[in-house]
Amino acid sequence: MRHKRVVVLGGGISGYGSAILAKKQGFDTFLSDAGTIAPRYRERLDEWGVEYEEGRHTMELILSATEVIKSPGIPDKAPVVVALRERGIPVISEMEFACRYMGKAKTICITGSNGKTSTTSLIYKIMRDSGARVSLGGNIGESFAYSVATGEYDWYVLELSSFQLDGMIRFKADIAVLLNITPDHLDRYDYCFQNYVDSKMRITQNQNSQDYFIYSADDTTICAELSKRNVRSRELPFMAHAAVASAAGDAYLDDDGHFTASVGASIIEIDCDKMKIKGLHNAYNAMAAALAALAAGVEPSCVERSIYEFSPIEHRLEPAGVANGVTYINDSKATNVDSVWYALQSMTSPTVLIMGGTDKGSSYEPLFDLVREKVHTIVCMGLDNKRIIDSFEGVVPTIISTSSLDEAMRASVAAAREGDTVLLSPACASFDLFRNYEERGRLFKAWVKDNLLDTK
C-alpha cells in the first residue's frame, strides 16, 4: 500500500490545524485554499514544513489524496468535493481526523441552532476553574487538531456546527449537549428541515451506555426525534416547561427563576437572578453547562461558583453604550430567526431592530408577534433587503432599507427616541457586507463609540 497522502481543503483555523496534525503524524501532507491564507496560519504552516497553495485548487495534487480533510465552510456541492467523491476518495472533518490521535482524553461536545458559543464557553470556564487540563475548540477557541498536535489534555470542550457533524464517521462525544433545533442553514440542506435535524442528531452518533446525552426537553423537535431513535447513552434532560424524569439526572427551572441540576448524587441549585448572563435562553444554557460539568465529575461547589462568575460573551446581547437616552445592543451573533426571537423576548423598551445580510431561507413568521409588541422600526442592512421588507410589511409601522453600516446606523439614530433600544440582531449571515459576524459586531460598536459616545 502506498504511503498515505492527506490533503486538507481550506487554510483557515480548521484547515491549518488539521494539516499540522497530519504532518506530525508523518503523513505526506498538502493544503489547498482557493482564497487567501491568513499570515498567522501561513507562518505556522511554514514552521511545520507543510506544503500548501492558495488562490487555487490544483486538482491533480488534490485528487492524488488517499484521504481529504474538508474545512466546514466548504459545502459538499463545491466542485472540488464533488470530484473527490466521484473518485471514491474519503472526505472527512477535522473532528473525525483529530479524534484518532487524542489518546485517553475525553470530549464534551456542544451543538444546537442557538446558544452554542455561550454554553461551550461556560463549560470550558467551569472545567478550567476545576483544575482540569482542558482545551477549547471546534467552532471557537483553537483548532481541535492543532491542540491535539501540540498539547496534552484530559478534556476537549468542542463547539460543533452541523457542518462539522456532517463529516464525522467514528467520532464519539463522551458528553454530548444538544441545546435546541430550529431552522438554520437551510440553504446548505436543500431547504429541507429534516436534513438539518438529522445533521444535529449526529451528536449522539456512536455513543454507548457509559456516555451522556444532555438535551432540552422543552424542544419539541428534539423530543420527536428521540421517540424515533435508539439513543444508547444516559439521558440528562433540562427543561423549564416539560416534565421528563431521567434515572441519570436532569435540570429544571422553576417559576421563581431557580434551577436545580443533578447527575447521580451531585446536585446544585442556581438563582438565575444572581447570574451575570440574563434571559430564559441563558438559563437554558446554564442548565446544560451545569449538567455537562457534573457529568464530567466536577465538584458541585465549583460548578456553582463558575456559573455565577461567568460574563456575557462578545456579540451576544452585548451592551454597546447609551447615548441621548438610547441604549445600543450588539447581538451580531444572532444569525438566525430563533436567536432574534430570544433577543426580542429580553427587550424591555421600545426597539429599533437592525436586521439583514445574507438570507438563509428561514421563515421570519416566528418573529411577528414579538415585533408587533416591541419593535416600532426595522432598519434593513444588506445588499438585498426585499425578503425582509416583504415579510414584515404590515407587521411593523416603519421599515427602512439601507445598504451599508453607516447608512443603517444613521437611520437607526434618527428613528430612536429617548428610552428606546437600538438592537443589532440581524437574523442573517454577514457575508454580503462583512467578513463575518464578529466584524459586523465590532464595526457596530465602533460606530456607536466614534459617532455617539465620543461626541461632546
136 and 252 both lie in a single domain: yes
87 and 109 both lie in a single domain: no
Task: Return the CATH number at 170.
Answer: 3.40.1190.10
Residue 171 has pLDDT above 70, yes or no: yes
Per-residue pLDDT band for 184 (boundaries 50, 70, 90) equals low
Alpha carbon distance 189, 195 (integer Å): 6
The pLDDT, as a whole number, for residue 354 is 97
Alpha carbon distance 369, 334 (integer Å): 18
Count other Cβ atoms within 10 Å, centred on residue 293: 31
246 and 359 both lie in a single domain: no
Alpha carbon distance 241, 224 (integer Å): 16
143 and 263 both lie in a single domain: yes
Alpha carbon distance 165, 202 (integer Å): 6
Among candidate residues 282, 309, 336, the one where a domain is terminated: 309
103 and 86 both lie in a single domain: no
What is the pLDDT averaged over residues 131-142?
89
Closest CA to 375 of 408, 333, 424: 424
Alpha carbon distance 148, 22 (integer Å): 11
Residue 302, judged by CB atoms within 10 A of its CB (0-12, 13-18, 19+), counts as middle
Angle at 318 (CA atoms; ends 316, 322), nearest 5 degrees: 150
The pLDDT, as a whole number, for residue 456 is 43
Residue 308 has pLDDT above 90, yes or no: yes
Among candidate residues 65, 92, 119, the one where a domain is terminated: 92
What is the pLDDT averaged over residues 219-238?
91
Instruction: Report the percent of the chain where pLDDT is more than 70.
Output: 97
Residue 346, judged by CB atoms within 10 A of its CB (0-12, 13-18, 19+), counts as middle
Residues with Cβ < 8 Å from 226, sequence gap 6 or more? Answer: 215
Task: Return the CATH number at 342.
Answer: 3.90.190.20
76 and 58 both lie in a single domain: yes
Residue 185 has pLDDT above 60, yes or no: no
- Are the CB atoms for 2 and 12 separated by under 8 Å? no
Q: Do strands 91-92 and 106-111 pair parallel, antiparallel, or not at all (unpaired)? A: unpaired
Per-residue pLDDT band for 140 (boundaries 50, 70, 90) equals confident
Q: Which domain holds residue 330?
A: 318-453
Per-residue pLDDT band for 314 (boundaries 50, 70, 90) equals confident
The pLDDT, as a whole number, for residue 440 is 94
Residues with Cβ < 8 Å from 282, sequence gap 6 or more? Answer: 118, 272, 275
Runs of H (alpha helix) within 109-259: 116-129, 144-150, 162-166, 193-201, 220-226
SS (H, E, C) 39-71: HHHHHHHHHHCCEEEECCCCHHHHCCCCEEEEC
What is the pLDDT averaged over residues 198-224?
92
The pLDDT, as a whole number, for residue 281 is 85
343 and 305 both lie in a single domain: no
The pLDDT, as a whole number, for residue 339 is 83
Q: What is the DSSP string of 355-386?
A: E-SB--S--SGGGHHHHHHHEEEEEEESS--H
Per-residue pLDDT band for 207 (boundaries 50, 70, 90) equals very high
Closest CA to 135 of 99, 172, 91, 178: 99
Per-residue pLDDT band for 166 (boundaries 50, 70, 90) equals confident
The pLDDT tens digits for 74-124 are 888 899 999 999 999 999 999 999 999 999 999 999 999 888 888 999 999
Q: Which three cell numbers stand for residue 187?
A: 440553504
What is the pLDDT averaged over residues 337-349?
83
Residue 455 has pLDDT above 70, yes or no: no
Among candidate residues 309, 338, 364, the one where a domain is terminated: 309
Distances (CA, A) of 365 to 25, 160, 369, 372, 430: 50, 27, 8, 11, 21
The pLDDT, as a whole number, for residue 3 is 66
224 and 276 both lie in a single domain: yes
Residue 1 has pLDDT above 60, yes or no: no
Mean pLDDT of the chain: 91
182 and 296 both lie in a single domain: yes
397 and 251 both lie in a single domain: no
88 and 100 both lie in a single domain: no
The pLDDT tens digits for 18-63 are 999 999 999 999 999 998 898 889 999 999 999 999 999 999 999 9
Alpha carbon distance 231, 236 (integer Å): 12
Q: Do strands 421-424 and 326-330 pair parallel, antiparallel, or not at all (unpaired)? A: parallel
Per-residue pLDDT band for 187 (boundaries 50, 70, 90) equals low
Alpha carbon distance 195, 191 (integer Å): 8
71 and 104 both lie in a single domain: no
The pLDDT, as a whole number, for residue 72 is 82
Residue 204, judged by CB atoms within 10 A of its CB (0-12, 13-18, 19+), counts as buried
Name the pTM for this structure.
0.74
Task: Return the CATH number at 55.
Answer: 3.40.50.720
The number of distinct structural domains making up the chain is 3
220 by DSSP, 3-state: which? helix
